[in-house]
C-alpha cells in the first residue's frame, strides 16, 4: 500500500486504523461478486474499511469490465435471507 495515502486516524470516529487484508462484495445487477485479498485499512473503533487509490482503481476496473478480465479463484454458495415480517417497530410515546 502506498504509505503516503495511509490513514492513521479514522475520519468517522477518530480511532486508530490498521492495515489488513479484507473481502469486499460488489453487486452488479442481480449478480454478487466477492473479491478477496483486498489490501485495506480498518478502523479499530467503527470497523469502517478504507482503500488507497491503487486498490480503488483495481476494484473499479474489475467492476467496469463485468469481472471478465480475470478468472474467479473459487465459487461459494450464499444463503439469502429476508427481513420481511422480521422488523419489530418500537413505538415512541
Question: For position 31, which CATH number holds?
Answer: 3.10.20.860
Tell me if 89 is assigned to some domain: no
Tell me if 40 is assigned to some domain: yes
Tell me if 17 is assigned to some domain: yes
Max mean pLDDT among 6-10, 26-30, 37-41, 63-67 falls in 37-41
Grid coordinates standing for 30? Answer: 442481480
Q: How confident is the model at residue 8 (pLDDT cuts 50, 70, 90)?
A: confident
Phi then psi for 64, rounded to 5 degrees?
A: -65, -35
Range of the domain at 18: 9-64
pTM as predicted:
0.76
Tell me if 77 is assigned to some domain: no
Note the pLDDT tens digit of each residue in 35-90.
999 999 999 999 999 999 999 999 999 999 999 989 999 999 999 999 999 999 99
Reported as half-sphere exposure (CB side, CA atoms, 13 A), residue 85 has a value of 2
Total count of domains within the chain: 1
Tell me if 92 is assigned to some domain: no
Amino acid at each position: 500500500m502506498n504509505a503516503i495515502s495511509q490513514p492513521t486516524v479514522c475520519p468517522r470516529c477518530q480511532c486508530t486504523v490498521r492495515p489488513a487484508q479484507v473481502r469486499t462484495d460488489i453487486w452488479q445487477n442481480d449478480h454478487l461478486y466477492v473479491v478477496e485479498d483486498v489490501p485495506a485499512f480498518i478502523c479499530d473503533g467503527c470497523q469502517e474499511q478504507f482503500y488507497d487509490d491503487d486498490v480503488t482503481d483495481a476494484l473499479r476496473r474489475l467492476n467496469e469490465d463485468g469481472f471478465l478480465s480475470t478468472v474467479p479463484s473459487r465459487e461459494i454458495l450464499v444463503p439469502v435471507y429476508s427481513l420481511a415480517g422480521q422488523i419489530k417497530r418500537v413505538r415512541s410515546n
